[in-house]
Structure 1
Amino acid sequence: MARETWATRAGFILAAVGSAVGLGNVWRFPFITGQEGGGAFLLVYLLFVALIGLPAILVEFVIGRRTELNPVGAIRDLGSGAWNYLGWLFVAIGFVILSYYSVVAGWFLRYTLIGVLDGYAVADTGEAQALFGTVATGIDTLLFHAVFMALVIGIIAAGVRRGIEIGVKIMVPAIVALLVGLAAYGFTLDASTAAYGYYLSPDFGYLAANWTSILPAAAGQAFFTLSLGMGVMITYASYLGEDRNLVADAGVIASLDTLVAVLVGFVVFPFLFAAGLEPGSGGPGGIFVSLTTAFAGIPGGRVLGVVFFGMVGIAALSSAISILEVLVSYLMDELGVSRVPASAALGVAVFLLGVPVTIDLIFLDLFDLLADGVLLVLGSLLLALFVGWVIPDIAREELSRGIGDLGPFGDVWIWIVRVPIVVVVAVSLYLGVVDYVEFLTVDFAEWLAAR
């Protein structure tokens, strides 16, 4: 069957941005930033995106456009021996991430509906925590998980141009517009000055004392929010039907994604400080507990809450379709399965894997810490080694298409991939593995013992 391509450059860029702008930016970013010291984490995160994330996007772009294949087929086409199995890692990562991602996205859909029907009438943090407890697990959670996955399946089944491209052209501008409006409102709150100080002023003493936790958190967040290490950018670049300037496209994508992440901070932290709440408290449910408490106590909070939670639901959808597309493209390319049955079968499989997360939140930690701190970083590390040391000449040649003579930039990029990226990502992977082992031997072991 003929391989689909993007109809426009804007469609490709918006799809890649839509993949990056999702729960990673709006759900994970605020509570990770709060947990890791505010401005100290923001500084390391921004440096990671600029110095590591941008070159890493190009790594995935050159592989995808060169082969016009899914991650499994792409790595097999360019490599040999043990490298042939690298593509399977991305398929596994996609399954794991989307399984719990869909559950969390269902939370945002449900909070949007709660705002429309009842409003956020919580008197204090305790009531907000009780509300989150009813939303986070149970039969209703399973239902919203199913609804969200059905939406994702429907968009993917419609195809690249009629489904993904049309969808992101609507969703991404809407997300940005809503964030700008909410950030403008946050600026009017009395607590905004203190919030901006916490968010934008790094505490270098805190950074020096806590770099072992901040570095892997920033690395994982950068890879998660840029959709790196899971094969998404390989898959999207494989649909490029003509020579493009990949450097320019990567710069636009990374810049827009980072802009959205920073905007989210300008939305969330003024609301938290206005409500007198501690940033980063409450873990994965913290943003729900803190923001519903904030929305309940400010003028127009019900409307703002509906807009915010609805916007995050849209952002989650734009990211989820990119992850499922990685899996669907594998079945289409490797096994010749048509798009509709491939979308349905894989969507159902992902839904089933996410069912435990709707039963107990310990499984959210189990999946998220594994995917974010270990698998995504591992995938990016192996890709950097592959491009930098196994196929550097092919990578330079592919990058030059649409640009012309790279001059010294090609060699500089390859050496950045070979050494700084490999070293920093390897250290981040080690720290992430240490954190995950600690979680398994302490938190998860205690949960098992209590059963």
Structure 2
Amino acid sequence: MARSQWGTRAGFILAAVGSAVGLGNIWRFPYVAYENGGGAFFIPYLFALLTAGIPILIMEFTLGHRFRGSAPLTFFRFEGKKAEWLGWWQILVSFVISTYYAVIIAWSMRYTLFSFNLGWGEDTQAFLFGDFLQLAETPGEVGGIVWGVFIPLVLVWIISLGILLAGVQKGIELANRIFIPTLVVIFLIIVIRAVTLPGAGAGLTAFFEPNFEEIMNPTVWVAAYGHIFFSLSIAFAIMITYSSYLPKKSDITNNAFITGFANSSFELLAGIGVFAALGYMAVQSGVDVSEVATAGVGLAFVVFPQIINEFPGLNGLFGALFFLSLTLAGLTSLISITETYVAGFSEKFGTSRRKAVAIAGGLAAVISILFSTNGGLYFLDVTDYFINQFGIALIGLIEVVLVAWAFRKLSDLQGHANLVSDIRLGNWWKICLSVVTPIVLGYMMFGLFTENLLQQFDTETGNYEGYTNSFIFWSGWLVAIGALVLGIIFSLGKWHRDHAEFTEE
């Protein structure tokens, strides 16, 4: 059976960029840059992009393009059973991420509507945790369904699974052709308006002013590599799956550079918009920018509504555009994340795409209901922390070490990429993947494991975010370890006969 393909090169690039550009670009990158040297952070950031981000993108594009399969099938065709488990591990981590990522998109949808009449009121923090999320008092307590979150969550899954049902060209490619240009236009409007606000200059100065002393701090370089790694959707199984739909004649290295720099350009745009708005808020409140700068849920759903409350003229429209941009960025990423396990499930068991979407996507949608309950934010917070830190980063480290050192296949992949690409890979690519990336990611993982093991025995402050040991164990470590164990179990099964044999052309 002929494999689905992208209709155009632009369609693939928009889909890859759509996957990379997500909520983290808007609510994580600006704060990471600000906290790690401001303008000076762009030096390690660019270095990390060129020595880890784009090299790994090229590797994953090459793997998918050469072996023509989802991540598990690609690794199975690459090195058999001894590599297949890695693909399933990636897919199961993506599966977990999709279950709570959809809920954050649902929040963004609802806040888009709240924007028109400033429905969050004056105390935006109390509204988020009390009125909107109806957060339980005790971590680990599930409670009942919060219907204000559940209803938009259903809509998020209807849109995402509906697009996936339509296929690669008529679904994913078409959606990204609409969503990504719309997202860029909306965010440009936000940025233009934000930089014209009183106090915007103070925010931009805080964002761009370089602190070159921070360049010598190893944690700043680790932060740069860590952010690049999470930002580009590498080790999620996404880029392997997406590149498997490329035509045989595809410029792999050029595609990787375009995707990497397009993602970074949007992050820079997001940083300008966010810090211009934070500068306005700081001036209005008579405080320093450092006192209003934050990241994540707090930035998007507490600080930005506060900014919108004080916004001069058409504040409802500005708020709606901001939360609509979060919704679009989230949807393009959720679609790509879900496609990884839809493709893997379909190929492993020989089911139709429609059945794979219904079963795998439907299961993710059902599990995501947990995050729309009274205790949903606690589960989301812990699951996100552990699955990202001990899922994605660890998978990336193991993937690079296996390909470069255990299987020693970098030269083979380099030859394939050079055969189809205008930009030829040299020794720099192999050095980055075999030396630079393993050292940096290894250092990151050692620090994370050490920090979290120490927290386990800290009886005074407790674990991550001060949660109890039992809650952390069952909600955090169990999910992270479970994804690996299930990945190994899935790899033990036989492939459907249509995919068991593969001959490179």
Superposition TM-score, scaled by structure 2 size: 0.82
Partner of 1:132: 128
The separation in 2 between residues aligned to 1:439 and 1:141, in whole angstroms, is 32
Question: 1:193-342 maps to which residues of 2 (within 5 A)?
Answer: 193-206=201-214, 208=216, 211-212=218-219, 214-276=220-282, 278-281=291-294, 283-299=296-312, 300-342=314-356
The separation in 2 between residues aligned to 1:233 and 1:320, in whole angstroms, is 13
AA partner of residue 84 (structure 1): E
Contact 1:71–1:87, Cα closer than 8 Å, also in 2:
yes
Kindly indicate whether residue 168 of structure 2 is the aligned counterpart of residue 172 of structure 1: no
Partner of 2:437: 421
Unmatched 5+ stretches in structure 1: none
Kindly indicate whether residue 124 of structure 2 is the aligned counterpart of residue 122 of structure 1: no
- Structure 2 CA distance for partners of 1:43 and 1:280, relative to 1, 3 Å: farther
The separation in 2 between residues aligned to 1:163 and 1:363, in whole angstroms, is 31
- Structure 2 CA distance for partners of 1:349 and 1:302, relative to 1, 3 Å: same
CA deviations 1:416-444 (Å, max 9, x no partner) are 21111111121122223344546666235
Kindly indicate whether residue 410 of structure 2 is the aligned counterpart of residue 392 of structure 1: yes
Contact 1:6–1:165, Cα closer than 8 Å, also in 2:
yes
Among 363, 368, 375, the residue aligned to 2:391: 375
Q: CA deviation at 1:45?
A: 3.2
Superposition TM-score, scaled by structure 1 size: 0.91
- After TM superposition, the structure 1 stretch with the greater mean CA deviation from structure 2, 397-406 or 419-428, is 397-406
Q: CA deviation at 1:273?
A: 1.8
CA deviations 1:327-346 (Å, max 9, x no partner) are 01101211111112211222
Partner of 1:73: 73
Contact 2:195–2:277, Cα closer than 8 Å, also in 1:
no
Q: Secondary structure at the match of 1:227?
A: coil
- Structure 2 CA distance for partners of 1:71 and 1:356, relative to 1, 3 Å: same
- After TM superposition, the structure 1 stretch with the greater mean CA deviation from structure 2, 80-89 or 144-153, is 80-89
Q: Secondary structure at the match of 1:275?
A: helix
Kindly indicate whether residue 358 of structure 2 is the aligned counterpart of residue 344 of structure 1: yes
Kindly indicate whether residue 133 of structure 2 is the aligned counterpart of residue 113 of structure 1: no
Q: CA deviation at 1:13?
A: 0.4
Q: CA deviation at 1:375?
A: 1.5
Contact 1:42–1:200, Cα closer than 8 Å, also in 2:
no
Partner of 1:448: 468
Q: CA deviation at 1:150?
A: 2.0
Q: CA deviation at 1:34?
A: 5.1
AA partner of residue 100 (structure 1): Y
Larger Rg: 2
- Structure 2 CA distance for partners of 1:111 and 1:35, relative to 1, 3 Å: farther
Count of matched residue positions in the alignment of Structure 1 and Structure 2: 443
- After TM superposition, the structure 1 stretch with the greater mean CA deviation from structure 2, 33-42 or 340-349, is 33-42
Q: Secondary structure at the match of 2:467?
A: helix
AA partner of residue 259 (structure 2): I
CA deviations 1:113-139 (Å, max 9, x no partner) are 1123x235633xxx0101221334533
CA deviations 1:155-212 (Å, max 9, x no partner) are 1111000000000001111111111221111111121221111111232345556x43
Q: Secondary structure at the match of 2:28?
A: helix
Question: 1:13-92 maps to which residues of 2 (within 5 A)?
Answer: 13-33=13-33, 36=36, 38-39=38-39, 41-80=41-80, 82-92=82-92
- Structure 2 CA distance for partners of 1:208 and 1:122, relative to 1, 3 Å: farther
Contact 1:369–1:436, Cα closer than 8 Å, also in 2:
no
Q: Secondary structure at the match of 1:361?
A: helix
Q: CA RMSD in A?
A: 2.4
The separation in 1 between residues aligned to 2:20 and 2:295, in whole angstroms, is 24
- Structure 2 CA distance for partners of 1:369 and 1:207, relative to 1, 3 Å: farther
The separation in 1 between residues aligned to 2:466 and 2:421, in whole angstroms, is 55
- After TM superposition, the structure 1 stretch with the greater mean CA deviation from structure 2, 133-142 or 83-92, is 133-142
- After TM superposition, the structure 1 stretch with the greater mean CA deviation from structure 2, 360-369 or 294-303, is 360-369
Identity %: 29
- After TM superposition, the structure 1 stretch with the greater mean CA deviation from structure 2, 357-366 or 329-338, is 357-366
Contact 1:33–1:41, Cα closer than 8 Å, also in 2:
yes
CA deviations 1:300-333 (Å, max 9, x no partner) are 2211000110111011111110000000110121
Unmatched 5+ stretches in structure 2: 136-145, 283-288, 472-505
AA partner of residue 398 (structure 1): H
CA deviations 1:205-252 (Å, max 9, x no partner) are 45556x43x444433322222111111000000001222111111111
Contact 1:216–1:432, Cα closer than 8 Å, also in 2:
no
The separation in 1 between residues aligned to 2:398 and 2:348, in whole angstroms, is 22
The separation in 2 between residues aligned to 1:33 and 1:82, in whole angstroms, is 39
AA partner of residue 194 (structure 1): A
Contact 1:153–1:347, Cα closer than 8 Å, also in 2:
yes
The separation in 2 between residues aligned to 1:163 and 1:260, in whole angstroms, is 24
The separation in 2 between residues aligned to 1:78 and 1:153, in whole angstroms, is 30
The separation in 2 between residues aligned to 1:43 and 1:405, in whole angstroms, is 24
